[in-house]
Amino acid sequence: MVQDFQNAALQGEWDSFRTGILTRRNDRHAKLAAQNAALQQQRQMRNAQSAQRTAALDERMDALNARFADGAVAATYNAQRVHDAVVPAKEAAGTNSPKEKVQHCLGERAHWIDCQTKYAADSRPCNAYLSALEQCVSKTVMDSNMV
């Protein structure tokens, strides 16, 4: 009978120990599930924010690309207009011999082209040459309009 009592006492201790282990395990699993759900929710919020930022950046890129395209068209138009103003009509028609053609702003163009070749990645050092070329072209256009 003592042995049955000891076995019953050991069995009771073992059952309470096993119940405690299972309870702590279930608590850990519940806590991990709650943490995973919270992390998943945070991830979804970040993905939504990222999608909004990406959409805003795409819109801005589209606007900048459109502005750049408009600027390129305007520059092409202005370059043709300046060319037409600088090169007299008879030179454009080819009636004059090449020796008679006057090369306007040749030095400024050469300096600017050399600088652009040298600083292809970042042309900021060439701004002074570009300004000189713009002044020369403006002066030439004004002089040709006066004549």
Overall average pLDDT of the 31-49 stretch: 96
The predicted model scores a pTM of: 0.39
Residues with Cβ within 8 Å of 109's Cβ and at least 6 positions away in sequence, in order, are 133
- For 119-132, write each residue's pLDDT tens digit: 888 878 888 888 99
Reply yes or no on whether the pLDDT at 44 is more than 80: yes
Query: Domain-by-domain residue ranges, the chain?
Result: 38-81, 104-147
Is residue 112 within 8 Å of residue 133, measured between CB atoms? yes
Q: Measured between alpha carbons, how far is 95 from 92 in angstroms, rounded to an integer? A: 8
Per-residue model confidence (pLDDT) at position 49: 95
Q: Where are the alpha helices (DSSP H) in 87-126?
A: 89-93, 106-118
Q: Is 139 in contact with 85 (CB distance < 8 Å)?
A: no
- Mean pLDDT highest for which of 4-8, 19-23, 113-117, 139-143? 19-23
Q: Among 46, 42, 44, 23, which residue's Cα sits nearest to residue 34?
A: 42
Residue 51 confidence (pLDDT) above 90: yes
pLDDT for residue 45? 96
Spatial contact of 132 and 111, defined as CB atoms under 8 Å apart: yes
pLDDT tens across 82-115, in order? 877 777 665 555 554 444 445 778 888 888 888 8
